[in-house]
A and B are shown apart, each in its own frame.
Chain A
Amino acid sequence: MKQNIDNNNEKFTGAEIFVKCLEAEGIELVFGYPGGAVLHIYDELHKQNEVSHILVRHEQGAVHAAEGFAKSSNKPGVVLVTSGPGATNSITGIADAYMDSVPIVVFTGQVRTALIGNDAFQEVDTVGITRPCVKHNFMITNVKDMASTIKKAFYVATSGRPGPVVVDIPKDITEDKCEFNYPKSVSMRSYNPHIEINSDSIIEAAEKILSCEKPVIYAGGGVINSNASEELTNFAKYLNFPVTNTLMGLGCFPGDDPQFIQMLGMHGSYEANMAMHDCDLLIAVGARFDDRITGRLDKFSPDATVIHIDVDPSSISKNIRAHIPIHGDVKDAINKLSQEIIGKKLRPKNIDNWWNQINEWRKKDSFKYNQEGDIIKPQFVVDSLYNVTNGDAFITSDVGQHQMWAAQLYKFNKPKRWINSGGLGTMGFGLPSAMGTQFANPDSLVCCVTGEASIQMCIQELSTCLQYGLPIKIINLNNRYMGMVRQWQEFFYEKRYAMSYMDALPDFVKLAESFGHVGYKVEKSSDVEPALREAINQKNRLVFLDFITDQNENVFPMIATGAAHNKMILS
């Protein structure tokens, strides 16, 4: 890390110190939107070239962009917004980052300290409002605390189980002056993310791994956050165990590997969910047994011994009791397990019978669809995107049916390629997170798989994309319905489609053009692949592809809320 310590008693304003802290922290990019309370900071940003500022069109977009940036790189995302509405507009993004453990630091302006609590113009209790959806938050009440607080904010956001940290800065603090001294390290007695893994639990887990007959490795986003994909893959390959991924874990194990039994959960594959139900050993790695994964808790993996590896102890035995809890960093835990098993050249039992069973389940081909005739099946678009991009693009998505099809059909072979909103399920995430992803990976292809409902929730960011020349490809699966809402209404509300129909849709081609981009409408299945190729060939332009898709298509398989894993609706 670059250190920037001025020790010559020179005094700087809080705003100057703020910018110096970002520089010292190695931050190159800030997503934000100016306003009264942060004008001193913006003035300082304007005077220098080390830290670039990306102007979004809505603060929610800034946070999602920072999330996309962080999720597709190994760096924290940084956001700067003003007080009051600037802060409240960023809340959805902050809550999203909290649910998906994304390391971001959000700086919010605040009214002057003398005005706090007086219902001042653009005042809101940001620390109070954000408290339930941050890993931690701070308010700086003295300029002397600016540098140490910013250092702590980045440390807390990026260590342990990552998450969003909010730093609220009253305007007068950015005027006050003091010396600048950026701390080299942080030590907080109340926060220690470095955990020594209990070796007894490693030995116990290794014994179970070597003696089981029907194992499943259930790997989640924690593997990606821990940068442990390679370790997990090697470990699973050595054992020849089946691997399933959560929505957040996709890419942490190669999606085209024969040991991969696809995503599990509500819209997971038949083989993954059946294997979860019937297994005798469940190895949960960096996953948190969320309700979309487990379905009915008392019918979940009834015969399994559960090994649960997680950096957050409160995730262990929260929903499903772990027989062998392993509290610690995922990478560290897998390395220790590997030493215990691979290091000692021990071999697990033969599990051919289990693989035979899984391969039987696989024959259901539960993600299959039928592309016949001219009407475009949404799955066909994702499939074609996979083929045209050789499976090597960064894919962001919004929330709904298109998200599930992208997760099911785009086979992610690398971590940090699949950027989506899993925990909070935030429609509007796709486009701004694609911007952050493109900034973090300027030479890579970034595609946003979205739907006509989701894309409208942060559509204003098309303007940001033009300003910074972001050549994102928007894959709009336009079925003129809020597809997932419609699907639930079809199944569970006797086809009463309350408010799920999108009447008065814009002409997306003209809309894209009005923002200065290229737009194409694609209505025939035979045009899908050519359109995708054409879009990708336009290397320097944002291309909005509006695919008019089959309105009646549903996401299968599906486990209804509260049903067991072996009770899947297949079609």
Chain B
Amino acid sequence: MRHIISVLLENESGALSRVAGLFSARSFNIESLSVATSEDLTASRMTIVTSGDDAVIEQIVKQLDKLVDVIEVSEITSNEHIEREIVFVRINNSEIDKKIMDKLESYEFLKIHNSKSNDLIIECVDSPENINQFVSTIKKIAVKIVRSGAVGINSN
């Protein structure tokens, strides 16, 4: 089962490696991890996408909470939430045909950036499911795919 865990932690050097180390040391999965500043200048917010049964997720939350630098841990997927991910895909202009263009137009938050070479860079911000779909549509002609991993917030 896929879960998103949101962690607020002290913005101390080494805090990221405490979390990353915990996951590898205890054989927990990390599908993606993103970290950036938060509303509090002295704390960072980390969003971890992981998977496991209920007992594993319970352990992940408890172990994270046990880290001395961690201020708050919440599992956000069990409640109503919004999640988004960003992806950049570089494609060769000559590979784009009408069929693909039609498909691409069905994506809500799509931007096309021209690059100096003969490539196009497509930017898509959407839910991870839609991003997956988008990526599978375009994968064959993609030269490079850069994904951010999901961030999320509870909406209730």
Interface residues of A (CB under 8 A from B): 127-128, 131-132, 135-136, 139, 156, 188-191, 312-314, 317-318, 321
Contacts and interface: CB of A to CB of B under 8 A. Distances in A.
B66 A312 contact: yes
Contacts of B55: 317, 321
Contact of B62 (A136, A156, A191, A313): A313
Given A132-B25, A321-B55, A314 B66 contact: yes
Given A156-B68, A321-B55, 17 more contacts: A127-B14, A128-B14, A128-B17, A131-B14, A131-B18, A131-B21, A132-B25, A136-B68, A136-B69, A190-B10, A190-B68, A190-B69, A190-B70, A312-B66, A313-B66, A314-B63, A317-B55
Given A127-B14, A313-B62, A191 B68 contact: yes
B87 interface: no
B58 interface: yes
A133 B55 CA distance: 23
A156 B25 CA distance: 22
B68 A188 contact: yes
Contacts of A190: 9-10, 68-71
Contacts of A191: 68
Q: Chain B CB within 10 Å — which of A188, A189, A321 has the most?
A: A189
B15 to A, nearest CB: 10
Contacts of B70: 190
B123 interface: no
B71 A314 contact: no
A131 B15 CA distance: 10
Return the 9 tightest CB-CB contacts between A and B, nearest first.
Answer: A314-B62, A136-B68, A190-B71, A191-B68, A313-B62, A132-B25, A314-B63, A314-B66, A190-B10
A191 B71 CA distance: 7
B69 A132 contact: no
B59 interface: yes
Which of A128, A136, A190 has the largest number of chain B CB atoms within 10 A? Answer: A190
B62 to A, nearest CB: 4
B17 A131 contact: yes
Interface of B: 9-10, 13-14, 17-18, 21, 25, 55, 58-59, 62-63, 65-66, 68-71
A190 B11 CA distance: 11
A356 to B, nearest CB: 37
Nearest to B18: A131
A136 B9 CA distance: 14
A333 to B, nearest CB: 18
24 contacts: A127-B14, A131-B14, A131-B18, A131-B21, A132-B25, A135-B68, A136-B68, A136-B69, A139-B13, A139-B14, A189-B71, A190-B9, A190-B10, A190-B69, A190-B70, A191-B68, A313-B62, A313-B66, A314-B59, A314-B62, A314-B65, A314-B66, A317-B55, A318-B59
A132 B26 CA distance: 10
A422 B138 CA distance: 56
A312 B62 CA distance: 9
Contacts of A132: 21, 25
Nearest to A152: B68
B65 A313 contact: yes
Contact of A317 (B18, B58, B66, B69): B58
Nearest to B22: A132
B61 to A, nearest CB: 9
A158 to B, nearest CB: 13
Contacts of B9: 190
Nearest to A316: B62
Contacts of B59: 314, 318
B72 to A, nearest CB: 8
A132 B13 CA distance: 16
Contacts of A131: 14, 17-18, 21
Contacts of B62: 313-314
Contacts of A312: 66
Contacts of A156: 68
Nearest to A161: B66
A314 B58 CA distance: 8
A552 to B, nearest CB: 40
B71 to A, nearest CB: 4
A17 B66 CA distance: 30
Of B9, B58, B65, chain A has the most CB atoms within 10 Å of the CB of B58
Q: Which of B55, B68, B70 has the largest number of chain A CB atoms within 10 A? A: B68
A274 B14 CA distance: 47
**Residue of B9, B62, B71 contacting most chain A CB atoms (<10 Å):** B62
Contacts of B58: 317
A116 to B, nearest CB: 11
A393 B13 CA distance: 46
Contacts of A313: 62, 65-66
A132 B23 CA distance: 11
A190 B71 CA distance: 4
Contacts of A135: 68
A132 B20 CA distance: 11
Contacts of B10: 190
Contacts of A136: 68-69
Contacts of A314: 59, 62-63, 65-66
Q: Which of A136, A191, A314 has the most CB of B within 10 A?
A: A314
Contacts of B13: 139
B27 to A, nearest CB: 13
A85 to B, nearest CB: 22
A191 B68 CA distance: 6
| Listed residue (A156, A318, A321) with the most chain B CB atoms within 10 angstroms of its CB | A318
